[in-house]
Amino acid sequence: MAADINLIDANNESLWHSRFGDSAQVADDALKSLKKAEKAQYQKGIACSKLNIAAASFLQSKNDIALKYLTEAFPWFENNKQEKGYVRALLLKGNIFESFGDYEKTLNLWHEAYKASVEISDTESEGESCNQLGLIYSRLCNFPKSLEYFNKGLKIREEIGDENAAASSLNRIGMVLRQMKKYDESLEYYFRSLEIRRKNNQGPAIPWTLLGIASTYEDMQKFPESLGYYEQGMSGGDKRCNMQCLLGAGRVYSQTGDAAQAEKRLEQSLLMAQELNSMALISEAHAALAAHYELFKKPDKALLSFKQYLKAKEVFQSNEVQSKISNIEVAHAIEKSEQEKEIFRLRHVELKSAYDIIEEKNKDITASINYASRIQRAMLPKPDEISSLPENSFILYLPRDIVSGDFYWFSEAKEKLIIVAGDCTGHGVPGSLMSMLGISFLEEIVNNKEITVSGQILNELRKEVQHALHQKGEREEAKDGMDIALCVIDNNQKTIQYSGAYNNLYLIRNGELLEYQADRMPIGIFDFSDKGFTSLDIPYLSGDIIYMFSDGFADQFGGPNRKKFKYPHLKEVLLKNHQLLMLAQRDELEKEFKSWKGDNSQTDDVLVVGLKL
């Protein structure tokens, strides 16, 4: 009996380390191991076998199977946290949530995995936890934090001699450096990864490294080098990697003037994207074809491809959001069922049917599921990330719907604090999508391009928004965009540099409220979009308070006559409470807003940011 148990343990450990190879075969072998463990009534063997099935299924994009087996295995690991499988289960669970786009849940799981791996001295899992934390921070555009974890994971993997895992870390560091436009450093890491993967015959992994190298050379406009690596990456990897190499090669051929080869590669990439049934990749391929036809003066074909791109993108965005929401609902439902010991209900039942059954008994689950809000809130910065900001500031943030078109953002760069209050076109889901674009663009402009002049930041932001929305000033196109107040605060010089797009700035000094006017133009397409935003330099005194806001507070209907609150009334409230502590000011503003609104519905998203200097 003991010999059988030892054999099951050894087999499960071997399968775990083989999961990145032939994952379909690993899943089959793990199922055989599960049957042996069940026959022996060996609970650890049963849990580890199910974990291996879940991991192999996830690598095949079979999330429904992965969730089923992980959910069944997880209770045993939670009761045996000293086992390596507990950390592995946390990491895999994080992988699944990351694939759904639930970054907040993912971040919590991977931090828990990192802590648990350190507690049980599992250096292999510690390295993997660092690698995964680096990935999630790169998804959130926090590149310095991402590199910190990737480098920590690389060091661990090199110390324990795990070359294949080290190659993965090197590849991801190269990816982040490429996103930061540090191309030479990026290539150095990619080539180190490639050397290891070729030496160790990591066939399925090599094309992904070749794709990274090719993409870096393409960004550098070194087209011959880029093309060579795209061509190498077209074989040996999975279909998704091959498709992206074909697409990249097509773009390069187009840029270098070889129309025939460009069209051949781009058409091949489109066909492969259609075989993969990925609307995201299909839209990307149509966009590349449209750009190619436009470059080679074929307006009819360019227009047709562009229309197909828009159609695919619309379907992709709609389907992706609905799919992710559905997956998050299922995942949360499964977690609820774990707590209520109803896991047996999930066996031999499709996940959709399982969710319907659980929903009947746990209707409150649906009220707590807030996919879009979680993603948006994960992207919003936290005041405690910057020293002295929590006690000297407040943020009143009241979305009208589950998600918001208003957003706030701040960062430190070149010993300056940049703080933004933004109000995007619309509210709800459309506004939130625009707000997340705004946050991503600001991260790029300030933290990567290192632009800290307020007017220049808004100029660059307007270019990015116009480019992302394909705004060209045509009569029929939507005038989507955002209104913004932006301040660059230099505590060494004791100055505020302010720029605004419709949103004014209030400053209270010695009991007097001063108002600084924004430019009367939005972030987006505008009749005078070639006109730059004004940068206004304002000296400040210690104790001054600045307020930035959207129009939601002033536009709220309510009061005894159901009228708008309006800006003069808002100024009165700010002056009345400005001597209170910052958090107390926020509480008073929220009380005033709710009292004014009364039983009326909220008109718009509400955002007020206060900062004491």
Residue 106 lies in a domain: no
| Token digits of residue 151 | 């480098």
When divided into structural domains, the chain yields a total of: 1
518 phi and psi angles, rounded to 5 deg: -85, 165
Q: What is the mean pLDDT of each run of 10 residues along the chain (613 residues)?
A: 78 84 84 90 92 86 83 90 90 80 78 87 87 82 88 90 88 92 94 91 85 93 93 80 91 92 92 81 87 87 83 62 46 48 44 56 44 69 78 90 84 92 76 82 91 94 85 62 94 95 95 94 77 94 95 92 93 94 93 92 92 93
Tokens of 144: 């310095």
What pLDDT is recorded for position 360?
A: 58
- List, as one string, the DSSP characters of 202-232: -TTTHHHHHHHHHHHHHHTT-HHHHHHHHHH
User: Beta strand 523-524 with 481-490: parallel, antiparallel or unpaired?
Assistant: antiparallel
Residue 427: inside a domain: yes
467 CB-near residues (< 8 Å, 6+ apart): none
Residue 540 placed within a domain: yes
Q: How far is CA 213 from the centre of its chain?
A: 23
Residue 271 lies in a domain: no
* 478 falls within a domain: yes
What CA–CA distance (Å, rounded) separates 176 from 10?
Answer: 36
Task: For residue 360, give the amino acid letter.
Answer: E
Task: Output the domain CATH number for residue 601.
Answer: 3.60.40.10
Res 356: pLDDT: 63
* 500, part of any domain: yes
Residue 504 domain-assigned (yes or no): yes
pLDDT of 352 reads: 55
pTM for this predicted structure: 0.48
List all residues 6 or more positions away from 361 whose beta carbon is below 8 Å from its beta carbon.
342
Pairwise CA distance, residues 501 & 236, whole Å: 51
Closest CA to 86 of 74, 100, 103, 68: 74
Q: How many CB atoms lie within 10 A of CB 55?
A: 25
The pLDDT, as a whole number, for residue 606 is 94
* Structural domain boundaries, residue 605: 380-612
